[in-house]
Structures are given as structure tokens and as C-alpha cells.
Structure 1
Amino acid sequence: MQTRIDLPRPPTEPEPASFPLLASLAPVLGAVALWLLLQTPTVLVFALLGPVIALASMGDGRRTRRRRRAREAERWRVELSEAADRVDAALDERRAALAAAHPDARAVAARPPHDPHRWRAAPDAPVHVVLGIGPLPSGIALEGAMPATDPAVQRLGAVEAVDRLRSAAAVLEGPIVVDAREGIGLVGPRPVAIALARAIVVQVADAVAPDAAEAIVPDSPAWAWLAALPHPLHREPCDAVRLVGDGVEVTVAVAEDAAALPRECRIVVHAALDRAHVGGRSCMPSALTEREAEAAIETLAAAAAHAGIRRAGGLPDRVELDALPVATGGLTAVFLVEGAPVELDLVRDGPHAVVGGTTGSGKSELLIAWVAAIAAGRSTAEVSFLLVDFKGGASFAPLLGLAHCVGVMTDLDRSGALRAIESLKAELRRREQLLAVQAARSIEEAQGIARLVIVVDEFAAMLHELPDLHRLFVDLAARGRSLGVHLVLCTQRPAEAVRDSLLANCGIRISLRVTDEHDAMAVTGSAAAAAIPLEARGRCVVRVSGGATRMAQAAIASPEHLALLVAAAAQQPRAPRPWREPLARAVPLTAVKPGPDAGDAGVVRLGLVDRPAEQRIAPVVWRPALDGPLLAVGGAASGRSSLAELIAVQLGTPVIDREDALWDALTAPGRSSSTTSTSSSRA
């Protein structure tokens, strides 16, 4: 398509005025005639009017020509400026049309997931990608000639001005487009070539539908950002990305030298930091950072979910935990699948984890599978689990028989939950003391200390019920790595519940389906989890140690598999709880054993006291000789009489239940040194 623009009419030189000969001679002839007639010499003065008239006429002609020349020059400049404006407008229109027809990588990445123009090309259509911005023929032609010999043209420099306008109109800076089906090889410094390759791959993935081709990508950290690609994904030890399908085959390769490129790469791009050269053309390269490319791929994944594209070879709808391998070392567990099984290690990748997901997304199943995967193949001397469920306690019911499980805290037993939490503080102090005794800096250097994994379902609900717990969990998160205490915090609204002080120590981030992009971003830094469809239970976005996000499917631990796991662990000693059992309703006297500091004589055993902050049940004794009188206060049926009888039996004294009888007993001859009485006073 060519646009024609008329050049301004060339400037013209005004014709010189004719010399007024007759007007100049008339005064001379008239003066001579009068002199001949009158013979008066003074009349000859009128002869001077001829030259005066001639000079005046010449001056007036020159001034008129200058005015005409100035008007003509101004007219030409105005028309040339208008032509330049028309050229600029035509160039802008052409640039906009090219940009709309061939968006670059950043424009492609900015498309929303519901963009209706994505994946609409025919299977055998060219796969156009933009390499960068460079000079292109504009298709704008300037009509009109400029006579170079014309004095007015020469005086105004019109030829040079028109030539400059022609040059400006002939070329525009636009997208350098190639067909990716020809195969593109990028040669140059590896970081620069990889950045350009990311931009090309994003454009290709945006052009080729996930159900039309499969992707073969290098098994390399440099290409880890492609994990969420909605196309069927296969990793191979290579340095080229290939999309292969019916009617399309695209290869994008990176090499240090052109000779090392695959033979499929018929387009070779020599990349530099500020310029790229391809086929004799130079352009400003279009490159993407890894984070930009990762965000673009996540948008494509969301677009595929929005379009309901379910491709062959994609993530399975269901994965059975017993079909996955059992991992060893640290706290490694295999309970996710991303094309291949995914290993997550709380020791290496954590030390803590946060899991987000709305109701029905599969949080409880994921947590059960994770615990089961860690427990498989490990003894209770290596790891134990404390399960916290603030939605009734039913979520972890399948794990209660597991020998590794030290207990379940629920919102149904608020006092028990508070007691267990107080004991966790003591557990940290106990572990610190054990490390100090062994002169160890962390649990890796110590012996005989099992790792403790605290799994919290509905962390936000727990904090709502017990807001003071946030400080404890921040402390656990900060000191847990060296002490062998690991947190797995699960909540529906991570953006509100898990604050930065906790997130900073959570190296493992998993987001199942959430309803708000802010919640997805709060966990993984990606909004992809907000686009997971409702029916994809267990589908999640995973991010480990700040790396690239990956789309994975969580496994399901079947009841049969859990039963086998519980049976296999039944022969092991049950893991000790980090807190003591609660006090019994009745305590026999023999269970109260005074400590060595109580002395040998005059000790009255009263009962037991629960000290959860110290992880112990302590005896309560009364030493009359050292402690002085004892006052027991209580209401009706509170146990005052029973306590009095208990004390009286140990002291060998009578029980007096009236104030007057007490006075008689004190004043009677041979009264005992100790007297036991009951009191009806109330505290």
C-alpha cells in the first residue's frame, strides 16, 4: 500500500519591470519645447524630471519584486510545512498500523487473559514474531518536481529541503518481522541472546494455541520460567525451544557461534546489547527479562484456563500418592506432579511453607498428602507432626493413628489449644538447651533430636480466635531452622493472615485456586492461581526459594494408602508430645512425688500442678515447719473437706469443722502441734 503526497508548487521569480523610457523622456522634450518657444533658460530645469521619474520607477519596481519574492517564499515554506505535516501523519498512521498488526513481545505480554484475538490464526499460517524496531520502507511517495536551475529554487534551497523531506518520508522505524517457522537462531553474548529468545518464545506461544502444538524446552535453569506454559511440556538436555504440531514447527535456539545452531534455524540473528543484525538489516532488539517472560507465560496459562483448553499431555486431573516415589534425605517429599514428580524439601527449600487456597480447592488433601509423603520411610525418631485444625478437627482425622503424629489442636478445645501453645514455647527452650549441651549450632550437628513439623489448617481462623499467637509463630519461623521446627501454614486469605515477618521465612509457596488475585500474588507473586478453574481441585502454582513459578497437580492420599502407612508405623514408638498430658480428674496420693528439694520430714503431699510453659506436671507439697500455716479456700462441693481429710491423714490430726471446736482443741491439754480445719470462706 502506497500513500502519495503532493509537494508544494515550486517558488517562482517575479518578472522584472520594464524601464519607463517614454515617461522619462516626456519632461525633457517638454522642457526643450518650452525653451524654444519662450527662450527662457529656467524652463530647462523641467528636463531634470525625466531622470527623477526614471529612478523612482526603477526603485518602485525593485521593491515590488522583493515583496512578490517574499510572498512567494513564504507561500512555499507554508506549503512545504503542510506537506511535512502530512508526511508525519502518514508515518504515524503507518507505524500504528504496523504495531497493531505485529505487536512486539511486551505488547503481547500485556494482553489480558480474555483477549479474543489470541490463538485465532489458521494452523498453516505464518507465525510472525517481532525481532525489534528498525528502518522499513514507508510506502509514502512525494509527487512533484523541483527545477534545480530556477533562481528562486536555488535562493531558497528548495531542492535540498525537498530531498530531506523525501528521505524522511521514505523510511520509518517499525517492527522487523520474520516468520518463526523458518527457525530462528540467536548468536551473541549468552545473556543478551537468552533475553531476545525469551521475547521470541513468548510471541510464538501467544500465536500457537496450546492444543495445536507441544513444547520441547531445555532442561536448564535458564528456561525454568516456561514451567507454567499451557502447552504440553517436555524437557530435554538441549539449548533450543521447539513448538511442534500439526502444520507448525518452530525452533528458537541460542548458541555462541552460528555454526553451532541447529540446521532448522534458517534465520540467524546476531545479537548485541543495543543492536541486532539479521539478513543485512539492523534493529533495536526487543528483549524480555525473566520476570516479564514468566508473567507473560502465566497470562497464557490463565488464558488457556479461561478458554477451557485441555490439552493432551497436560497436568492430570488426579494423582494418587502411592503412585509417586518415596523420597529420602532431609524432609524431602514427593506429592506434586508437574509433568514429572516434584520434590520439595522443608529443610533445603523451606524452612517453612505457606499454602493458600479457597474452599474446595483441595487444601486439606494437599496437607494430608504432604504429611504422608514425609512420614513414609522415616521413623518417629526423625520427624513428628503437630496438626492444628481450626475448623473442627475433621481435616486431619485420617492421620490421627500415625505414630509420627503427636496430637491435633482444634478450635473445639480452646483451653487445650492454649495449653499446647504454651508448651511450644518451652519446646523451643528445650531444644536450645539440648543443642547447648552438645555444643551444636543447629540440629544438623546434634544427635537424638527429631524434627517437628507444625501443620496449621486455617491459620487465619486460628489468629482470629487467638491473636496473640502471631508473635509465637513469628518466633517459631525465625528460630525454627536451627532448632528443627518447621511450619506449614495454610489459609484461605493469605494476603490478610500471613504477614511479611512470616513470609520472609517461608521458602516454599503453594497457591491452590483463590478468588482474588491479591491472595495469589501474596503467596507466589503470580496471579495465575486466581485463574485456576473451579473443577481443577488440587491444581496449584508452586514457587520455591524465589525461583520461577510452576503449575502442578497435588496428589491424593487414598484411605487405603493411609491405612498401610499407619500400619507400617505402628511398630515404632509413638513420638513424644511437646507437652504433657492434661491433669486427670482424680490423682492418687502415690502419684504425688515430692522433689529432692522438699526435704525428708514434715512434707504434706497436696496434689499436682500443670505447668505447660515448662512442659511438666509438678507436685504440690506443704511443709508446715518452713511454709507456715495453710489456708484452703473454696465454695460448696469444691473439695475443701476432702483436702482437709487428706492433710489430716498425713499429719495424724483430727479434722475440726466448727470454729468453737477449733478453740477447744487449741486450748485442750496435750493438743497436737498441728490442727486441720475446714473453712467456708470463698475466694
Structure 2
Amino acid sequence: MDSLPIAIPAAPVPARRPPTPFIAALVPVAAGVVLWLVTGSLFSLCFAALGPLMILASLIDGSRSRRKAFRVAEAESAAAWSLAEAQLSRLHDDERQMRWHRHPDAAAGLAQPPLRGLEPPDADTEIVVGSGVGTSGVRASGGDGERERDFRTRCARVENVPMTVPLSSGLGLRGAHPVVASVARALVVQLCVRFGAAQMSIVGPHLEELGVARFPQARFTRRGSLRVAVARSGDPRPAADAVIWLLGRGEDVPEGITTVIDIVEPHRASVRTPQGIVEVFTECVSRDQAIATAEESSVEGDELDSLPSRVALSDLRQPESQVGLAAVVGRGEHADVLLDIVDDGPHAIVTGTTGSGKSELLVSWVTAMASSHGPDRVTFVLADFKGGTAFEPLRTLPQVAAVITDLDEEGARRGVSSLTAELRRRESVLAEAGARDVREIGMARLVIVVDEFAALLQDHADLGAVFTDIAARGRALGMHLILGTQRASGVIRDALAANCPLRVSLRVADAADSRAVIGTDGAAELPGGVESRGLALVRRPQDAEPTAMRVALTGAADLRAIAMRWADAESPHSPWLPVLPRMLPLATLQVETRKGDAVLGRADEPERQRQPLVFLSIGSDRGIVLLGGPGSGRTSALRALARQHADPLWIPSDPEHAWDAVVALAADGSRGAGLVLCDDIDVRISELPVEYGQHVARLWDQILRHGSRTTFVLTATRAAGPIGRLLDALPRRGLLRMPSRVDHLAAGGESDGFDRDRPPGRMRMGDREIQLVWVPEERLRSSGPAHGASRYRQDSGWSPRCALTALVTAGVPTVAESLAAAHPGCDVEALSGEPRDLTTSTRPTIVIGDADAWQRNWPLWQRVRREGETLIRAENAAELRQLAGVRELPPYARPHAGRAWSLIGDAGPRRVVVPALASGR
């Protein structure tokens, strides 16, 4: 037992006698003597008498308190003992009930049929030989008195429990013949109740005499089952695994028998084993009781035992009927078993434990229907939610529109939408034809077969409501369900089960499941084991009792024959469209587009049962924003769109070229650019200095809000802050895979729409899933980002354009040396503190100085501004405002990369590349 030990109550202990208060009693004595000495009154000595009186009163009160405390302790001890006795009785009752449940005898097995496992009995199987006193697992702790020791002894013993011995090679029964025969009957009935005919066989010449010959285990011998024989003394030893010997009193026990039951009188015997001798209360069964039990068991046993051990689907003749979907799926005792999901349904439930043959039944049923009915009559959607591949061979059948395995959350939503759309489609077809049933218009019926319906409901409860709706309206619409599950109780709700009158049950573990499906306990009593795989009980609406059958098995030749017969038939309409491909190459799409249209991708619309292409009308559509993390397919989408346009403007990734492109777009209002592509616009803006980034954001806002006849396609990794307000200018937004759920929600996605494993190019736009088109990257070397960037490519390097050039820079000596080496045809002068006269020079002159030097040579600076070219290094942006008085933001130039701003006359600054500055920094 796993329960805690019973705590034995402690014995009541008498209370200790309280101490006598002598010191307290001396106080009034002393006080009385003192008063007598002071007052001289003899009455004062009366006060001294209070001391002895106090001692006497204290002794009387203490004795009374001790007696009362002892009575209370005795009452508490009695109550505790009552609780302990009640707990012992309850634990023994629980233990006794559990032992009888684990080891039932004939009476217990008939009262509550035991669960039959798949493994047959063997020599180690325990058989109940009677009831008696056994060792209990209940323990008690505490106390060491006689009563406590007696209680612990009673805890360790439990009465009226099954006494078992291993079956081994058999056992011997000795005693008077009538009593021995009754005990032998009880043992045989016990074995027949516990084990099926496929697991055990009863043999011997005395079965009819004992009244057990009509048990299925005695009428048929299964190969591989345990053989138990019944023999008398003097009989030759039977060829059996175990023998129950019926012996007279005092007769010798045959060799090999290690268990002997000496029956003294009815219900009283001693069992002798190598472990010792125990007294038991034996079970006895009369011959009439044995016959009645055997007849009840043989009602079903005869039918099962007469079934063939194997049936091939090719051996069964399928009916050629133009009404319904009749199919022969197995063979019964007297004839083949025909099921019609239309006439017997419109829906069916199939139950069976793992290994009972449920998947084989579903495969054979589908194959049998497909062999007689073409795609114009029936279409199948097969769903397997146990992770197996049972339906994979059926993919080759022309009637099979879809084979579905375990769904994720997105697949479940598609399933709900697809089946709901099929219901609406069929309703609209019937309404347009003015018909009430699909029979009137010849529409193909749809049969949805689900293996492991319980797993479907557990993971996707939304689909359960759809199946209930189909069950309620499916008959007229020609939609039929075949639901396979290991158990029906608690899985298939009453609203769904009420519309499934066709029931098939293979072996189930619980009798309640059998009753819920076929109305009897028969499916729970089907034998286990490999040879019993495919045994099923069928109950149609017109059947008073279930019919037993052996399920036919489908072979590869059956499937090939069906595929060849309907090879020329048109493909059926699929109510369950396949999921979008993980990659959608543009080259594989054969579409006719209007001028200016570009294929964006393929959308999934299960609620409309279609997957149309999504187009982007260049010049008409305002554009779209694609949001996604790294590797989500943003850049691939831009490449595909650029491939479909003659001259797209792709904003370069180089910050300087990107600046030029955005400024040019803002200047001409995007005229002349039909398609503008910008990858990672948030990155392009954030990698610029703050003032440049803010200016570019304002330019983009101006471009997007005022651009006409231009389509913009922008991508970004996030849509928060100013970037979010910028992206809101475009009417459409596609959400690809985001790095985290937080980013997904910030981008405007729904909480349940986040999928960390979303494939590249898969985006959510509105309420639709879209797979973006894809083109190989190598095919876009001439039309990708570099193509758009070529419009803004800089010259190879700066060269003097005027006779006089001023350069504002730090590190004058080093820069002067680099420029002199780079431009040998020019005079390079370093500006010193004194004013210079440069009128005598005949060659182009480059004057170099820092800001302070040019402030001191202000006349020369003014002359250069009027007559020559002024260069201000990108690292000296402040001098552009201080010396040149330029207030607007100059073109962006990368610092420390040989960039400078050039000023000639009144023209604004332009960015130039001076290679000598890069080498001389």
C-alpha cells in the first residue's frame, strides 16, 4: 500500500499529583501567632488554623483534578482508537477491492468483465484458486502495549482476498469427485472470462461432462494461443501448455504439477505449493451455471470464430450502383458486409484502439468506394492527425482531392474557412438549380475521412464546430463524414453523434466506449493480438444487433486498377486547397497581364476556395510597404518587381547615392519614375546623421503624399516612431516574418498571427496570406539595385575647373603634399599668416588653408569666391556655414572618405570626390 502508516493512539497516562503547598500553609500560621503575641487575643490563634485547612483542601482538589483528567484522556484515547479502527477497515476494504479487481475469479469476472490485454496468458499468469487471508500492505506505527501489538498484527493481515498461484504447467485438484468438478468448472470459467478465444483454448475429453464445452475457447483452437487441458487421473497426459488434473482423495499428483488443492468440503480447501500450505475458501460452479455462462459467451464467440483469418479487397465484388456510395469493406459469417455512407449514413463513426486495424478499415472503405464510383460521383478529402502515412498510397486515386496531415494553427484556420466555403458553394449551386438534394443535379459527393478525430479536436477546437455543422446539413449538400477515433466517449459530442447512425467499432479498451458506439459491450470483448487485427462490429441504422466482420485489406494492385480505370476522368474540384508554396518562381507563372501590371504574388483565399495572383498596377497603384525581419524575403520581392518593369528606380543602398535619388525625386515630383523601389528605408534613414535623416524623412513624406503616376514599394524592418508615420502614407502594407512577437505587434500584426517559422516571402496583407514571387538574384545583375544607382554615380575624381581653387581643411602640410602629387600641373600653395599675391601665377593654383588662415586672408577668400572654385572638406561642415554663408543642408557626403563640397559662384554646394584628400587624411 502507498498510504501512510496508521498512527496508533497513545495510552492514557494518569496525571501527576500536584505538590503540597506547605510554605503557603505556613503563612497564615505565622500570621496568627504574630497577631496573638501583639493582641494577646486567643481568637488570633484561629487564624493560624487556616494553614492545615488549606493543605487538606489542596489535597482533595488535586485528587479530583487528576481523576477528571484521566477520564478525559481515556475518552480521547477511545475516540482515537475508533478512528484508527475505521481507517484500518477502510484501507483493508480498498485493498481488498483492488486485489479482486486485479485478480478476479469467475464470480467477479462475470459481475464486471475484466479488461483483456493484447498479450496472451502464459506460465506466469496468476490464477485465483480461492479467497483467504493475505498479507496486507497496511502498516501502523506507535505504542508497544498488548493492544498496540494486536492492532499491528491485524493491520498486516487482510481477509477475504484472492489467493493466486501461477498457472505454470497446471495444478491438481484432489477430493470428492462432485466437489472437485465444481472447483474445476470455476477455474475454467475464470480463465474463459479473463482471456478471449484468440488468446487461450480449453481442450480435453471431459469438457462436455463438466458443462464447459460450449465456451468459444473450447470449440475452436487458435494457433499461438495458450492450451489449457482438463484431465482425470488415469488419462494420458494431454498435449497442452497447462493441465488441470481432477484427482481423487489421496491420489498421487502427476509430475510437473507444483500446485495441489486438497478440497476438504465445498468452499474449504488447502493449497499446497513449494512456498507452503495455506487455507482457502474455494469457489464452486455448478454444471448448469457453467452451461448458461458458456451459452451467453458463445453468442458472439461463434460468429467471431467463424470469420476468415484474412480477406483481400480484390476478393470482394463491389456493387455497380448509381444510387448512393455502396461499398463492400469486409466479410462476415454468412455474407460480405456492404456499407453505404449515403443510405446508411449520412455520416459514420469508426472506433478502435491502436493496432486494431482502424486505419486499414478507412483505407479499404475509401478504395472500395473509388473502385465503383468515379470522380464525377465522389471526391475524397483524407485527413490523418496521428502523424502516420496511412493515407499516402491513396494520393494516386483520381477521386482524392487532398490528403492532409497534422495541421498547424494556420492550417487549421484554412481548414475552417475551406470547409465553410464548400458548404456555401454547394448551397448556392443547389439554390441556383432550384434543387433540394445533390441527387437532383448530379453533383459529386464529398466524403471527408478523418483518422484520429480526437487529436484534431484537441489541437483545433474551431474545426469541431465546422464538422458539427457539416453533420447537420451534409445529407442534402452531399457532404459526408467518416470519423475515426480511438474512443468516442468524451470526444464526439452528442450533437455530432446524433447525425452519425452508421457505426463501426474494432476492439476498444473500455466497455463504455463500445456501448456508446454500437450499443453493446461487444467491441470491448473482442480478442486482442495480431491475428485479431481487423475484427470489427458493424451496426447500421436497420441492424438490431451488431454484425461481426473481418476487414478487407487493400493492396497496391487495387489502387493501380482504380487509377487506370479513371485515368481519363477530369480532376475533381478540391474543397481543401493546398497550402501556398514556400517559393513562387516568377518563371513558372504563365499569366497574361495588362500593360503596366506586375505580379506581386499569389494569395490564399480558402473562404472563396481560390488562390488568385495579386498584381501591382505600376503607375496606378500608390504602392505598398513590406515589413519584415532579416531573411524574410523583402529584397527578393523588390528584385522580382524590378524584373517586371522596364526602368525601375531603385533607391541605392549607398547613403550618398540614396540622398541624391531622394532629393531628385522630391525636386521633380517623381515624374518619369513609374516604379520606385527602396529596400530598408528605415535603415537608409537611420544610418544618416540626425539632421540628414530628418530631412530625408521629410522629403520622403513629400514624395509619397504628392507623387502622381508613380508606384512606390518600400521595405522596412520596423514601423515604429517617425518611420511608422511615413509608411502610413502608402495604402497597403504587407507583414512578413518579424524577429519577435513584440515587433510583429508593433508592425500592426495580430497576436495569433505571429509565426517564427514563416517561410521567406510569405506575408500577411489584410486578411489574406500571400506568397511573393521570386527570381534568381544572378538574373538581376543588370536590373537590380545597381541599375537604379547608376543614375547617381559620381565621377572618378575631382580636377581643377578654375584658375584659382581654395581648399578649407585641417592638416594643411600633409594635404598640400598629397594634392601636389595628385595634380602635378597645378601650383599648390599652403596659406600662411601673411596675405599672398597670386596674380603672377600662370598655372591653375590650389590654395590650402584652415578656417583661421582664410579668415586672416579674407580678401583672397573673397576673390576665390568671385572668380574661382571653393572646396570645403566634408569634415568641416561648420566652415561651410561660417565662411561660405551656406545655410541650407548640403548634399550628404561621407566623412573621412575624400569628400568635399564645391562652391562656384552663386551655385549651391555640390559634393565632389577628391582622392588626394582620402589618401592624405
- When normalised by structure 2's length, the TM-score is 0.39
Aligned residue in 2 for 1:588: 586
Is 1:507 aligned to 2:504, yes or no? no
Provide Cα deviations, 1:283-310, integer angstroms capped at 9, x if missing partner.
Answer: xxxxxxxxxxxxxxx997872399xx66
CA contact (8 A) 2:352 2:485 kept: yes
Aligned residue in 1 for 2:463: 469
Aligned residue in 2 for 1:428: 423
Distance 1:208 1:485 in 2: 50
Is 1:579 aligned to 2:576, yes or no? yes
Distance 1:619 1:410 in 2: 26
Residue 635 of structure 1, CA deviation: 3.1
Aligned residue in 2 for 1:541: 537
Aligned residue in 2 for 1:321: 313
Partner of 2:490: helix, strand, or coil? helix
Distance 1:302 1:371, change over 3 A: farther
Residue 583 of structure 1, CA deviation: 2.9
CA contact (8 A) 1:390 1:410 kept: yes
Residue 614 of structure 1, CA deviation: 1.6
Partner of 1:317: helix, strand, or coil? coil
CA contact (8 A) 1:322 1:561 kept: yes
Is 1:628 aligned to 2:622, yes or no? yes
Residue 421 of structure 1, CA deviation: 4.5
Q: 396, 401, 404: which one pairs with 1:401?
A: 396
CA contact (8 A) 1:579 1:616 kept: no
Aligned residue in 2 for 1:460: 454
Distance 2:423 2:636 in 1: 39
Distance 1:638 1:207, change over 3 A: closer
Aligned residue in 1 for 2:80: none
Distance 2:409 2:586 in 1: 27
Aligned residue in 2 for 1:259: none
The alignment-based identity, stated in percent, is 39
Residue 366 of structure 1, CA deviation: 1.3
Residue 400 of structure 1, CA deviation: 2.3
CA contact (8 A) 1:302 1:532 kept: no
CA contact (8 A) 1:318 1:553 kept: no
Distance 2:542 2:493 in 1: 17
Is 1:677 aligned to 2:675, yes or no? no
Distance 1:300 1:530 in 2: 18
Distance 1:419 1:302, change over 3 A: farther
* Residue type of the alignment partner of 1:507: P
Is 1:342 aligned to 2:319, yes or no? no
* Residue type of the alignment partner of 1:317: S
Aligned residue in 2 for 1:568: 565
Distance 1:551 1:316 in 2: 14
Partner of 2:362: helix, strand, or coil? helix
Aligned residue in 1 for 2:659: 660
Aligned residue in 1 for 2:354: 359
Distance 1:114 1:451, change over 3 A: closer
Aligned residue in 1 for 2:762: none
Distance 1:552 1:312 in 2: 7
CA contact (8 A) 2:304 2:548 kept: no
Residue 356 of structure 1, CA deviation: 1.0
Provide Cα deviations, 1:484-532, integer angstroms capped at 9, x if missing partner.
Answer: 1110001111112111111010010111111101100111121111111
Is 1:550 aligned to 2:551, yes or no? no
CA contact (8 A) 2:303 2:548 kept: no
Paired residues for 1:364-443 under 5 Å: 364-411=359-406, 415-416=410-411, 418-443=413-438
Aligned residue in 2 for 1:254: none
Aligned residue in 2 for 1:488: 482
* Residue type of the alignment partner of 2:659: D
Distance 1:550 1:671 in 2: 79
* Residue type of the alignment partner of 1:554: R
Provide Cα deviations, 1:388-443, integer angstroms capped at 9, x if missing partner.
Answer: 11122311233222221122111176655653453222112121121122111111
Is 1:521 aligned to 2:556, yes or no? no
CA contact (8 A) 2:330 2:549 kept: yes
Residue 360 of structure 1, CA deviation: 1.7
Aligned residue in 2 for 1:32: none
Residue 355 of structure 1, CA deviation: 0.8
CA contact (8 A) 1:335 1:343 kept: yes
* Residue type of the alignment partner of 1:569: W
CA contact (8 A) 2:538 2:549 kept: no
Aligned residue in 1 for 2:645: 650
Residue 208 of structure 1, CA deviation: 9.8
Provide Cα deviations, 1:227-277, integer angstroms capped at 9, x if missing partner.
Answer: xxxxxxxxxxxxxxxxxxxxxxxxxxxxxxxxxxxxxxxxxxxxxxxxxxx
Distance 1:523 1:311 in 2: 19
Partner of 1:469: helix, strand, or coil? helix
CA contact (8 A) 2:402 2:578 kept: no
Distance 1:207 1:412 in 2: 53
Partner of 1:495: helix, strand, or coil? coil
Distance 1:208 1:561, change over 3 A: same
The root-mean-square deviation of aligned C-alpha atoms, in Å, is: 3.6
* Residue type of the alignment partner of 1:466: H
Provide Cα deviations, 1:298-349, integer angstroms capped at 9, x if missing partner.
Answer: 997872399xx66898333332222222122311111133321222211111
Paired residues for 1:131-146 under 5 Å: none
Distance 1:563 1:533 in 2: 34
Distance 2:395 2:618 in 1: 47
Residue 671 of structure 1, CA deviation: 5.0
Structure 1: runs of 5 or more not aligned = 1-109, 116-205, 215-297
Residue 652 of structure 1, CA deviation: 3.2
CA contact (8 A) 1:474 1:501 kept: yes
Distance 1:410 1:646, change over 3 A: closer
> Whose Rg is larger?
2
Distance 2:466 2:358 in 1: 24
Distance 2:496 2:337 in 1: 24
Partner of 2:607: helix, strand, or coil? helix
Residue 386 of structure 1, CA deviation: 1.2
Paired residues for 1:271-286 under 5 Å: none
Distance 2:324 2:490 in 1: 31
Partner of 1:635: helix, strand, or coil? coil
* Residue type of the alignment partner of 2:481: L
Provide Cα deviations, 1:7-38, integer angstroms capped at 9, x if missing partner.
Answer: xxxxxxxxxxxxxxxxxxxxxxxxxxxxxxxx
Distance 1:640 1:410, change over 3 A: closer
Distance 1:419 1:406 in 2: 16
* Residue type of the alignment partner of 2:577: R
Distance 1:541 1:382, change over 3 A: same
Distance 1:392 1:322 in 2: 28
* Residue type of the alignment partner of 1:676: L
Distance 2:218 2:587 in 1: 78
Paired residues for 1:23-422 under 5 Å: 209=214, 303-304=297-298, 314-327=306-319, 328=321, 329-338=323-332, 339-411=334-406, 415-416=410-411, 418-422=413-417
Distance 1:527 1:567 in 2: 43
* Residue type of the alignment partner of 2:316: L
Residue 481 of structure 1, CA deviation: 0.8
Provide Cα deviations, 1:510-561, integer angstroms capped at 9, x if missing partner.
Answer: 1111110110011112111111111422222222126412231133224243
CA contact (8 A) 2:507 2:523 kept: yes
